Amino acid sequence: MKSRLASTVFLSAIAAILLATGFVPPESIAQQSESFNYWEKNEAIIWRGVKAFMMCNGVFTSERSPDLVREQEWAYTRGLPGVYDDDGFGIERLKKLVTVGGRGGVPAMKAAYREGLGCIIMEPGQSDDAIADLPILATPQLPGNPLEIAWPDGDLIDSAPDVSSIDNDALLAASDWAFDRPADRQKTLSLIIVHNGQIVHERYADGVDMSTKTRTWSTAKSIFVTLVGMLADEGKMHLDEPLGIEWLPRVRGESPDPRNEITLRHVLNMSSGLYPVDNGLEYATGSGLAYWAGASSVNGARNRALIRKPGTNWDYENYDTLLGVLAMKNAIGDNQAYLEFPRKALFDKIGMRNTIPGVDRFGDFIFSSQVYTNARDLARFGLLYLNDGVWNGERLLSSEWIDFVRTPAPSTSNSGNFYGGQWWLVPDNRTDVPADAYATAGNRGQYVIVVPSHDLVIVRRGLDFGRQGFSRWDLTREVIKAFPER
C-alpha cells in the first residue's frame, strides 16, 4: 500500500508558508495536487529502521523479550509503507545486532547496541564490519547498589510515605483513570506520583516494573535543556548570543549568512525561523533520516533556509533542538568530554542510573528524542526541578534557568503561551489545572509533570499509538484532586 500522507502534508506545509508570507497562489496553482508518493523509498527505509532500532533497544537496552517488543513497541508501525509481516528479520545476540529488511528492493536496516549509548542505527545496507567503528561510552557505572540506597538517590523505600493529607480514594481514581483507557491505542505502562519528595503512588502494567527502560521520545528535549542550563550557569553558553555554528549550504561570497542571527534562545523556544521539515514528514525525511536511517543529525539540522525572522514564529522542529545540541558540543569542545557530560553533570548526580542517551553513528547526541530510561529516573529528574535545581544541598541548576524554561516563548503569545524552553506550559485556556504546572512531553505518551503549588511530580510512561489522545493536563487535573495546595 502506497502512502499519500507525506506528499499531502508537504504540500500543506508549503501552502502554509506561502500564506504566512502574504503570497496568495493563483487558483490554478492552489488547486493542484499530487497523488504519487515521492517519498516511498525513504518511508520504507525509515520504517524498517524504526523496527530495527526499537527491537535492538528493546532486547539489549531494556532487556525485554522480542515477542513483547513486537507486540508493544512495533504496534504503531503496522500497515505503514515498507512494513511487511514477512519482511526479513533477525537478532544476532553475540553481535548485539538487529536486522530488518530484504523485500521490495530497499536495503536492510541494522541497529547495533553499543556500551553506554544504547543502540545506534546504521546506514542503509551497511556492512556488519562497521559496527566496530560505532561510538561507545565506557565510563564506569555509578558505584553502589541502588536497592540499598534510599530514595531518591537510590531505589530503597524502607518506610511508608506520609499520606495523612492525601485523599486516597481520589488518588486511586486518578490512577485508574490513567490505566483504564477508553481506547486500546492508549497504553499506560507506568505511573509514579511523588509528593513532598516521597513516592506516594507507583503502578505498572503487566510485563513492566521499575527497572523497565523505554524510549523518552521528546521528553529528551527537557533533559537536554537541563544540560544546556548547567553550561549556561557556568558561562559557557549564552541564551542571546548566536549559535556560532557553520551552516549548510555555505553562503558564497562576502554576504553574511542571515542564519547567524539565530540565538540559543530562539532554538530552545522552537522559534528559529528556519524552514520546517518535520511537520508530518518526520517518517519520510527531516530528522527521521537521523533517527531511523543513519543520516547525520548535525548535517540535517544546519541545512535549512531561514524563512522568517528568528523569534517571531513558533514551529515544533526536532532540528531546532539538535542545533542546540551542536552548540552544546561546540561549547564543551572535547568529544570524549561531550559524551561523558550527561552522565557526569546530571545523571550520576541525582541517581539516574538507568538513563542512556543515544547518539547517531557519528557520535552526536540525538537529544531531541533518543533517550532510554525508566519511570523512577524521570521522577528523580522532575524532583530536581521541583526542588528548584538543588539536590542533596548542591545547586545543580540555577533558579534563573528554571524560570527561563517556564517562561512562555514570545512566539506563543498570540496562541496560548503553551511552550517555554523545551518544556510545555499550561495553555491560557486551561483553568482546571494549576497555572504553575509545566511538563515534558514525548510521543507515545511520555510525561513528567511538575506542579510546584501542590508539591507534586507526576510521571506517566506510555506506548500509545495512532490518534493517541492521552492528555497530560487531564491527567494533572485528575491527580491534583487528591492533594492539597501547599
In order, the DSSP letters of 127-146 are -GGGGGGS----PPPPSS-G
Q: What is the mean pLDDT of the chain?
A: 91
Confidence band of 35 (pLDDT split at 50, 70, 90): confident
pLDDT for res 480? 98
pLDDT for res 114? 98
Q: What is the dihedral of CA 323, 303, 364, 318, to 10 degrees?
A: 50
Q: Please state the φ and ψ torsions of residue 148, each to the nearest 5 degrees.
A: -110, 5
Task: Pick the more confident residue, 293 or 9.
Answer: 293
Q: What is the dihedral of CA 367, 370, 375, 377, to 10 degrees?
A: -40
How many other C-beta atoms are found inside a 10 Å radius of the C-beta of residue 308? Answer: 18
Whether residue 7 has pLDDT greater than 50: no
| Domain boundary assignment for the chain | 40-129, 203-238+340-480
Query: In the CATH scheme, what is the homologous superfamily, with its name and number, of domain 203-238+340-480?
Result: DD-peptidase/beta-lactamase superfamily (3.40.710.10)
Cα angle vertex 406, ends 405, 410, to 5°?
Answer: 85
- Which parts of 185-296 fold into alpha helices (H)? 219-233, 264-268, 288-292
Cβ(331)–Cβ(343) below 8 Å: no
pLDDT for res 24? 54
Percent of the chain beyond pLDDT 90? 78
pLDDT for res 19? 46
pTM: 0.93
Q: Exposed, middle or buried: residue 136 (CB in 10 Å: 0-12, 13-18, 19+)?
A: middle
* pLDDT tens figures, 184-238: 789 999 999 999 999 999 999 999 999 999 999 999 999 999 999 999 999 999 9
Confidence band of 11 (pLDDT split at 50, 70, 90): very low
Whether residue 22 has pLDDT greater than 70: no
pLDDT (mean) for 250-269: 93
* pLDDT tens figures, 357-415: 999 999 999 999 999 999 999 999 999 999 999 999 999 999 999 999 999 999 999 99
* pLDDT tens figures, 117-169: 999 999 999 999 999 999 999 999 899 999 999 999 999 998 999 898 999 99
Confidence band of 78 (pLDDT split at 50, 70, 90): confident
